[in-house]
């Protein structure tokens, strides 16, 4: 069997997982059979020290570069063979708890626990693979998404708690959560978000500005305000721009009904009259949801790995 890799940008399924009865399925490439195994991983990271998710050549430190470097060292495959794709390309300083990515290998793993541990062993402490599992042939980390959920954390006290300084925006001005909730409710539904999206920094063409927001919740816990927004997708910096406007409403500098007026303008310059984008460190990609049919593992695939659980006999004494 000669293995080859195929990496396409289209949404069509190109990676096939052979069933356990060894009757391989595959794509023919130049008359040869290609059998590739697709894998899905859930990634958490502290984005403070990194220049975002998207791969950039070293010495620029990105999340994707570190994960690909670990995979290359373990699998001995080239970067082009792995064809790694992330669900969302988080910016510099943005964190994630539930980033999702997929990659491919030309060989199978019967047990993923060791592979999982090996990857985490090569990654910086700020990056961890929470889960690794076999992926459906048609699964695509970016194009199979049905929704993404982001959380923006605000610390609302006169003096900033140093333990929150890397993960929450500090507002010394007392915010009005009820006014913010009213304003956030105007975002829910399907709208043209041209007023809230910055021009993309990458050559991705012109994105569709029409997005659907399923919910926009504001939760209070002592000094913390958690702003959670779930939607079908988001424009570049859309979440941080929406939060920035809500903070202005919370400061009672603007009325809640300013939101529909800015939406109707469909012009980024209109938002710039009232607020600037919030800093990245308060933002975290919490979860990504997918079409359930594309989440089913292939026939004969190994079970997912959520990390090894050691028995007490194998655990070292703490801190020694």
Which of these is catalytic: 27, 30, 81, 91? 91
Cβ 266 vs Cβ 195: under 8 Å: yes
Strand partners, 225: 154, 220
Q: Is 161 a catalytic residue?
A: no
- Measured CA to CA, the distance from residue 68 to residue 12 in angstroms comes to 23
State the catalytic residues.
91
């Amino acid at each position: 069997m000669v293995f080859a890799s195929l990496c396409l940008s289209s949404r069509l399924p190109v990676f096939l997982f052979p069933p356990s009865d060894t009757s391989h399925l595959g794509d023919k490439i130049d008359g040869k059979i290609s059998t590739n195994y697709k894998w899905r991983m859930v990634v958490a990271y502290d984005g403070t020290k990194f220049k975002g998710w998207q791969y950039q050549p070293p010495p620029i430190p990105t999340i994707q570069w570190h994960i690909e470097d670990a995979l290359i060292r373990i699998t001995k495959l080239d970067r082009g063979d792995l064809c790694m794709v992330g669900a969302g390309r988080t910016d510099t300083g943005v964190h994630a708890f539930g980033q999702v990515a997929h990659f491919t290998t030309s060989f199978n793993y019967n047990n993923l626990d060791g592979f999982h541990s090996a990857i985490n062993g090569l990654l910086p402490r700020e990056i961890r693979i929470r889960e690794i599992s076999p992926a459906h042939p048609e699964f695509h980390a970016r194009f199979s998404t049905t929704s993404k959920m982001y959380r923006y954390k605000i610390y609302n006290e006169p003096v900033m708690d140093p333990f929150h300084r890397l993960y929450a925006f500090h507002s010394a001005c007392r915010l009005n959560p009820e006014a913010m909730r009213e304003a956030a409710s105007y975002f829910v539904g399907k709208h043209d978000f041209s007023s809230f999206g910055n021009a993309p920094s990458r050559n991705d063409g012109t994105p569709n500005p029409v997005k659907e927001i399923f919910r926009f919740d504001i939760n209070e816990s002592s000094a913390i305000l958690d702003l959670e927004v779930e939607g079908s997708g988001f424009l570049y910096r859309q979440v941080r721009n929406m939060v920035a406007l809500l903070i202005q409403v919370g400061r009672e500098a603007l009325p809640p009904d300013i939101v529909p007026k800015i939406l109707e303008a469909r012009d980024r310059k209109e938002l710039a009259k009232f607020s600037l984008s919030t800093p990245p460190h308060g933002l975290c990609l919490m979860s990504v949801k997918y079409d359930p049919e594309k989440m089913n593992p292939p026939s004969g695939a190994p079970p997912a790995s959520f990390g090894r659980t050691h028995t007490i006999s194998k655990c070292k004494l703490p801190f020694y």
